[in-house]
Amino acid sequence: MPTYLTQHQNRFLEELLDWLRIPSVSADPKFHGDVLRAADFIKDRLLEAGATLVELCPTAGNPIVYGEYMAGPDRPTVLVYGHYDVQPADPYELWTSPPFEPVIKNEKIYARGACDDKGQVYMHVKALEMMLRDGGLGAPCNIKFMFEGEEEIGSDNLGIFVKANKEKLQADVILISDTGILANDVPSIEVGLRGLSYHEVEVTGPNRDLHSGLYGGAVMNPINALCDMISSLHDENRHITIPGFYDNVADLGPAERAELAQAPFSAEAFTQSIGLPAAVGEAGYTTPERTSIRPTLDVNGIWGGYTGEGAKTVIASKAYAKISMR
């Protein structure tokens, strides 16, 4: 390990843990202040690392942190992308340690955002610091950083920012460390990612909650109706039935699929790690294909009616679901 890293390892770690302590949950407005704090935090780290220009760029939503170090006009340019926002941490009761109080076990850091995406963002910033600070060899290329705060909620403002800042963001290579690897000992390069379409569905039935003894059987129950709708979105081959859904999906040819099949993927390790007897999905495709080249539809949340202790024989007036398509 380069001397600089060994010398500063403790400080690096403490800084990262401090960043992980900020609950920058972009989905929930009550964490808005924390989201802004997380942006400020990484802006300051970029400045300390030696970036020559660092800006907190406002958007209609959360700010984008832009930073750069220009080694020279003749050098190639790398644009590093990352995000400082995190997914909601609930249900909290399933965490074995609090999500925003990082703990280290077996050399792994456990905290919300540790590997999505604060850890990776931090690594890139510290790489810059190592290159530029005392004894560093200097940057071999121009490096630009663009860290957004809305990745977990659909990146609504990123496209607008990118279009408005074409020149500034110009680069030869874009480097994104916000994906997975096939296994801890299999370095992996992703060449494409699925997008995301996220929807909240509200089904309204009767104008108030009804007693299922008096009304059951004679009115369409919104929860039952919602389940019918959701169920109808897949056919028996787990093929999505929404008209036109696959229209713009590129169908990979045999050669490309053969190449994908060569990746060292272990079906057994996959199912074992998530505690399922078998992987399932769209007929005619392998597990790696199902999670990469094929679009999907998942219900990410559902609620309606009585969800407390014991029994309540209510026909709920409304039912809700959060549905994502990738």
For 279, the 3-state DSSP assignment is coil
User: Helix 3-20 crosses helix 32-49 at what angle (to 10 degrees)?
Assistant: 170
39, 65, 130, 316: which one binds its own copies (CB under 8 A): 316
Q: Applying CB under 8 A, does 258 fall inside the site for its own copies?
A: no
Question: Does residue 151 carry a catalytic annotation?
Answer: yes
The mark string for 31-70 relative to its own copies (x by CB under 8 A, - otherwise) is: ----------------------------------------
Which of the stretches 37-45, 58-66, 117-125, 283-291 binds its own copies when contact is defined by CB under 8 A? 283-291
How many whole angstroms separate alpha carbon 181 and alpha carbon 203?
39
Please name every residue paired with 68 in a beta bridge, in sequence order, or none if there are none: 53, 144
Tokens of 156: 């609504």
Residue 165 or 291: the one with the smaller Cβ distance to its own copies is: 291
The mark string for 75-114 relative to its own copies (x by CB under 8 A, - otherwise) is: ------------xx-xx--x--------------------
Residue 137 or 218: the one with the smaller Cβ distance to its own copies is: 218
Catalytic residue among 85, 117, 148, 152: 85
CA 139-143-144 angle, to 5 degrees, is 160
Core vs surface per residue 235-267: b (16+ CB within 10 A) or e: eeebebeeeeeeeeeeebeeeeeeeeeeeebee
Residue 59 or 287: the one with the smaller Cβ distance to its own copies is: 287
User: Contact, 102 vs 111, CB < 8 A?
Assistant: yes
How many whole angstroms separate alpha carbon 297 and alpha carbon 313?
31
How many whole angstroms separate alpha carbon 125 and alpha carbon 42?
8
The mark string for 173-212 relative to its own copies (x by CB under 8 A, - otherwise) is: -------x------------xx-x-x------xxxxxxxx
Please identify which residue in the block is written with the tokens 């941490």: 89
Which of the stretches 62-70, 131-139, 169-177, 285-293 binds its own copies when contact is defined by CB under 8 A? 285-293
Residue 90 or 256: the one with the smaller Cβ distance to its own copies is: 90
Q: Any residues with CB less than 8 A from the CB of 311 and at least 6 apart, and which?
A: none
Residue 260 or 299: the one with the smaller Cβ distance to its own copies is: 299
User: Contact, 256 vs 303, CB < 8 A?
Assistant: no
Restricting to residues 127-166, which ones interact with its own copies according to CB under 8 A?
Answer: 152-154
Which of the stretches 49-57, 74-82, 161-169, 315-323 binds its own copies when contact is defined by CB under 8 A? 315-323
Catalytic residue among 34, 129, 151, 152: 151
Active site (catalytic) residues: 85, 151
